[in-house]
Structure 1
Amino acid sequence: MEYLPNSNSRYKDVEYWDERYKTEQSFEWFGDLSRFRHLLQGHVDEEDSILVLGCGNSSMSVDMYRAGFSSITNIDYSSVCIDTMAQRHTDCAGMSWLCMDARRLDFADGSFDVVLEKGTLDAMLVDEKDPWRVSEETARMMHQVLKEVSRVLKPGGRFVSVTFAQPHFRKRLYARAEYSWSIQHQTYGQGFHYFLYVLTKGEELSQEDAALEQRVRLEAEAPFTDMVSYEDTESEDFLTNIDL
């Protein structure tokens, strides 16, 4: 494929995305809004203030805007992406595009009703070797992002995460009392299932998820065992190569 990097690790490099966004018009990870819009009902309201992390050149934000969700702030760490999308959608009054790193959000505490990401966290995890235990560097990065997401959510706000990651892997990252949220998930898709997680700010972890947090903490104290990296891929659909 034209935009396929020579290594999965390139998906974490802003230089790769800058070059890609100079020519690529649009790409959808895990399907467009129509695939999971029914799952958003009851979790995202049209009047909600929404932050989209790692918007990329996906049509999701614009599709939501045209469906009635008028207060949408989009961020991406690629300035090329942000400039292109802002110019492309000047007709969407009230929707903003900002170049920003998800690890350091330039918003006040409690700014948003909803934070939404689709495939952004997966891209951050794509170079991991062990789906049961991510590297210390990646764990720190994920903690920075999730801590920031929790911070900018209003009480009762929801973090909506769309991913291919199954609960027994992704909950290991999300189940942390420090984030002050509960965790629910639903699935969509036929054959290969994708997952939509809803994390509600101000609610406690379930007993099961609290116990998972304790297990993960204990495992982190054990010696780290390196495993084989998933580097080879024949398409952008790296879903079959990693299982996070």
Structure 2
Amino acid sequence: MDHLPDNNSRYKDVEYWDERYKTEQCYDWLGSFSKFQHLLEKLVKKEDSILILGCGNSSMSGDMYSAGYRAITNIDYSSVCISTMSERYSNCPGMTWHQMDVRQLSFPDASFDVVLEKATLDAIMVEEKTPWEVSPQTACFIHQALTEISRCLKPGGRFVSVTFAQPFFRKRLYARTEYNWSIKHHSYGEGFEYFLYVMTKGEELSPEDAALEKKLLEDTKSPPTSITTTANEDKEDFLSNIDL
């Protein structure tokens, strides 16, 4: 692919994305909306107010709009992306686009029924070498983002996270009482399995997830373990280099 960076760390640089979005028309990480539409339709109402994080140039927002979801707010930290996508979907009333950092959302508390991200958090973790011990810098970044997501959710609202990361690893990040949500997960995909996590605001963690949080707090460090990663269908390979 023409847009592959020389080093995976570039996926964290806004300059890389600005340059990429100047020429790339569309790219969908972890499959298109149609791949998990059957799951989302059970979780998200057509009249829900939806915030999409790290929208990129994915067709997901447009596909959701065509499927009847009309109150969609999109953010990305690339100004090039936001400018391009805003123009592309200028004929879609109710669809808005904003340049914004996921760690500093400029929305009031309890603004959205649904916050949705697809591979955005995965991209933040491109330099992590083991799923057992996330670096302090990345852990801080993720915590800031999840805190903001929880703040912006209405009571009973859902944070939907679409990722390649298995529950054993991803729940280690999501299972925190302070986020004030429960966690459930689903999977989709043929050949390679992807996961869709649903965090519901105002619900308590399950006993299992509460026990996981307690264990993680007690175990400040987990022993490193060799992880075998399955190849996936995405053309870009940073997802196959980490297993978070």
Q: TM-score, normalised by structure 1?
A: 0.94
Further displaced range: 124-133 or 67-76? 124-133
Matches of 2:207 and 2:33 in 1, distance apart? 32
Unmatched 5+ stretches in structure 2: none
Matches of 2:80 and 2:53 in 1, distance apart? 16
Q: Does 1:29 align with 2:29?
A: yes
**Structure 2 match to 1:127:** 127
- The one-character-per-residue Cα deviations of 1:214-238 (angstroms, maximum 9, x if unpaired) are 1112222x4997999x9xxx95133
**Structure 1 match to 2:170:** 170
**Structure 2 match to 1:43:** 43
- The one-character-per-residue Cα deviations of 1:158-202 (angstroms, maximum 9, x if unpaired) are 000000000000000000000000000000001110000000000
SS of alignment partner, residue 64 of structure 1: helix
**Structure 1 match to 2:110:** 110
Give yes or no for contact 2:82–2:99 (8 Å, CA) kept in 1: yes
**Structure 2 match to 1:209:** 209
Give yes or no for contact 2:160–2:197 (8 Å, CA) kept in 1: yes
Matches of 1:37 and 1:235 in 2, distance apart? 22
SS of alignment partner, residue 36 of structure 1: helix
Q: Does 1:11 align with 2:11?
A: yes
Aligned identity (percent) is: 66
**Structure 2 match to 1:69:** 69
Do the aligned partners of residues 237 and 156 (structure 1) sit closer, same or farther apart at CA in structure 2, a change above 3 Å counting? Answer: same
Displacement over 6 Å in runs of 4+: 223-228
Matches of 1:91 and 1:67 in 2, distance apart? 15
Give yes or no for contact 1:129–1:226 (8 Å, CA) kept in 2: no
User: Which amino acid counterpart does residue 56 of structure 1 have in structure 2?
Assistant: G
Unmatched 5+ stretches in structure 1: none
RMSD, matched Cα:
1.9
Matches of 2:183 and 2:111 in 1, distance apart? 21
